[in-house]
Amino acid sequence: MIHNNLFDRYYATESPLHRLSPSVKVLLTVFFILSNALLPDGHWIGFGISWAVIFLLNWVGQLGWGYTFKRSFIALPFALAAVTAIFALPGKTLAEFDVLFWHLLATDAGLLRFFSIVVRSWLSVQVAILLVATTQFPDLIHALEHLRLPRMLITVIAFLYRYIFVLSDEVLRLLRARQARSAVLPGQSGGGTVFWRAKIAGNMVGQLFLRSYERSDRIYNAMLARGYQGHLRTLNRHAMHTRDWVILILSSAALLFLQIFTHF
Amino acid sequence: MLYSPTPLHIPDGFLSLTVSIFFWLITLVVLSVAVRRTEKLDEKQVPLMGVMAAFIFAAQMINFPVAGGTSGHLLGGALAAIMLGPWAGMLVMTSVVAVQGLLFQDGGLLVMGANIFNMGLLTAAIGFGLYKAAEGRTRAVKLGAAGLGAWLSVMAGALFASLQLWLSGTARLDIVMPAMLGIHALIGLGEALITVAALSFIFRTRPDLLDESKNAAQGGRGWVWVGGLVSLFVVFLSPFASAAPDGLERVAINAGFISTSADAPYSILPDYTLPFLGETGLSTILAGIVGALVVGVLVVLLLRGRAKATE
């Protein structure tokens, strides 16, 4: 059985967002993230408007109001790296700390910067979630092809997506086999040293490599047998309709307007 | 959870636009060369790279318990480059990073150029370069070179990620760099162990895949220089940046990354004295040497154990 639910982030339903051309969605996602990056530090109105737009898009996409928010916590651990921004900017000193070797001055400018970075990143993650929730991954790949990304890279990504499911099942089998042979008697410690465990994991990686390598041979032969000519084909034409153009132009203009509004 | 994010995937919002675009440009230039070089090889390369990308993705799910509920797993850049050659390895890692960013939001889109550079291009160059340097030597030397390459590739990624964060005004260099390098010295140890074990497994079962005469087309001796130079850069820049952040800042200003205007986006406080900096620089050098020694000793021990087991 293929566990495709492990990796599929698509939310199957009917909505105007789902029907929009994938190329337009990819472009608007990039523009939106660009716009987030350009919002000035501490412009809470600008951040608020962007957040409200995402909230609204959740509803337009029939995902339920909190869909992207609930899934947006993945980037938060990285905020740890930005914590040091609090101590990096000159400004009014709010507090002082001495940690190990470091003498740290928390400034108001630094704090403002930290929160702006976290909000920007939070907004951008939600936009990206919105894209994959409303676009099937094969459509996304073809959209990238229409946007003139190198065809070879796109084909590799398409293969990657196709075989993640197969190879992750292979991994699940390997992990299950290891678990089945790793029984521990009660009261005894098992599992050997860390190095031994790392070596076993390495052997499993080597095993997985060989299985993948041999599989790719079979895949290539099968593809040749069916007339492979160097790239993958699609039946979806991905033609841009008037509606798509109108939405692309209007939304880009709105993002541009948001930038002008926040900068002047 | 089967899919565990690593602290090297920078999300959107953490890098400034200048830094993001700069690294996108470098990445695009290198990738366009990689695409042209790989297209020259037979068309069988494309499905092979695709399945290998899925392999790296799946291999990252294989973890091993370390201590206190944490576990280590593979990043795979060095392994991919050693098995497939540097150009193909770069393309494979690029698609892995791209899918992680697109599908799982693990790493941003605007900053993807930087992420691909850190985790795909650097790792492949170092991993392949050091492995190639051991060409014609015994299997043990090759495995040692691969282990060192794997450790250094992770360190290089961590070094560049902290430099990018610092240039963007997101983090303070004197904190983020020791922190990132410290964590990744350990993560890199796991990387080195798994890479060496996986390679020695392949050496035992399918030595033909690692046959030098067959793999000569993957990349020439020039990669030894590329990998060596990048490694030297990592080994020397880490202590230098910790010992003299002001010097590094001067370089960054001259290169146009940090503006010198009054309201500079980032500047170390003028009255900020750091009496410990000499020590930190020294300790970073020491950490680097100790780390390299530890990796070397571990590799030797592992090989001994293997040799005994086969006797």
What value of ipTM does the predicted structure carry?
0.86
Are A238 and A143 contacting, i.e. CB atoms less than 8 angstroms apart? yes
Are B215 and B86 contacting, i.e. CB atoms less than 8 angstroms apart? no
Nearest-angstrom CA–CA distance, B107 and B111 = 7
Are B151 and B292 contacting, i.e. CB atoms less than 8 angstroms apart? yes
Give B 198-217 residues with CB within 8 A of chain A. 198-202, 205-206, 209
Q: Look at A103-107, A196-200, B160-164 and tell me which has the smallest mean pLDDT.
A: A103-107
* List of domains in chain B: 17-257+274-310 (1.10.1760.20)
Q: What is the CA radius of gyration of chain A?
A: 24
Asked if B90 reaches chain A (Cβ–Cβ under 8 Å), the answer is no
Nearest-angstrom CA–CA distance, A124 and A31 = 10
Altogether, the residues listed in chain B come to a count of 311
Tokens 């993948």: give the residue. A212
**What integer pLDDT is reported at residue B220 of this predicted model?**
78
Q: Choose from B36, B43, B46, B160 for mutation: most chain A CBs within 10 A.
A: B46
Chain B contacts of A140, Cβ < 8 Å? 102
Q: Choose from A154, A160, A231 for mutation: most chain B CBs within 10 A.
A: A160
Nearest-angstrom CA–CA distance, B244 and B280 = 10
Q: Choose from B15, B18, B64 for mutation: most chain A CBs within 10 A.
A: B64
**What integer pLDDT is reported at residue A249 of this predicted model?**
92
| Half-sphere CA count of A263, side-chain side, radius 13 A | 11
Nearest-angstrom CA–CA distance, B24 and B31 = 10
The alpha-helical segments, DSSP class H, found in chain B are 17-40, 45-59, 77-84, 86-104, 112-116, 122-133, 139-167, 173-205, 222-243, 245-254, 277-310
**What integer pLDDT is reported at residue A29 of this predicted model?**
94
Find the angle CA(B112)-CA(B117)-CA(B120) to the nearest 5 degrees: 100
| Higher pLDDT pick, A131 / B287 | A131
Q: Would you kindly state where each structural domain of chain A is located, as residue ranges?
A: 4-136+244-263, 150-179+201-233
Please report, in tens digits, the pLDDT of each residue of chain B (311 residues total): 344 445 688 888 888 888 999 999 999 999 989 988 888 777 778 888 999 999 998 888 887 776 655 666 788 999 999 999 999 999 999 999 998 888 888 888 999 999 999 999 999 999 999 999 888 888 899 999 999 999 999 999 999 998 998 888 888 787 788 878 888 888 888 889 999 999 999 999 988 888 877 777 777 788 888 888 888 888 877 766 655 555 556 555 555 555 433 333 333 322 222 333 333 444 444 444 555 555 555 555 555 555 555 44
Are A182 and A190 contacting, i.e. CB atoms less than 8 angstroms apart? yes
Chain B contacts of A213, Cβ < 8 Å? 48, 51-52, 55, 206, 209
Handedness of CA A22, A27, A32, A36 (dihedral sign): positive
In degrees and rounded to multiples of 5, residue B115 shows phi and psi of -65, -40
Is A175 in contact with B59 (Cβ distance < 8 A)? no
Asked if B144 reaches chain A (Cβ–Cβ under 8 Å), the answer is no
Is B194 in contact with A37 (Cβ distance < 8 A)? no
Digit-coded pLDDT (tens) for A211-264: 999 988 888 888 888 887 766 666 666 778 888 899 999 999 999 989 888 887
**What integer pLDDT is reported at residue B262 of this predicted model?**
31
Is A150 in contact with B35 (Cβ distance < 8 A)? yes
Asked if B181 reaches chain A (Cβ–Cβ under 8 Å), the answer is no
Please report the DSSP string for A162-216 in residue order.
HHHHHHHHHHHHHHHHHHHT----TTS--S--HHHHHHHHHHHHHHHHHHHHHHH
Structure tokens that stand for B138 in this block: 């015994």
Nearest-angstrom CA–CA distance, B304 and B223 = 29
**What integer pLDDT is reported at residue B285 of this predicted model?**
46
CA end-to-end span of chain B: 40
CA A123 to chain centre: 13
Give A 223-262 residues with CB within 8 A of chain B. 223, 230
Are A46 and A39 contacting, i.e. CB atoms less than 8 angstroms apart? yes
**What integer pLDDT is reported at residue B281 of this predicted model?**
44
**What integer pLDDT is reported at residue A47 of this predicted model?**
93
Query: What's the whole-number average pLDDT of chain A?
Result: 84
Largest CA distance in chain B: 70
Give A 69-98 residues with CB within 8 A of chain B. 71-72, 74-75, 77-78, 81-82, 84-85, 87-90
Nearest-angstrom CA–CA distance, B181 and B284 = 9
Asked if B67 reaches chain A (Cβ–Cβ under 8 Å), the answer is yes
Is B14 in contact with A124 (Cβ distance < 8 A)? no
Find the angle CA(B197)-CA(B153)-CA(B241) to the nearest 5 degrees: 145
Are A158 and B102 contacting, i.e. CB atoms less than 8 angstroms apart? no
Asked if A43 reaches chain B (Cβ–Cβ under 8 Å), the answer is no
Largest CA distance in chain A: 71
Is B61 in contact with A171 (Cβ distance < 8 A)? yes
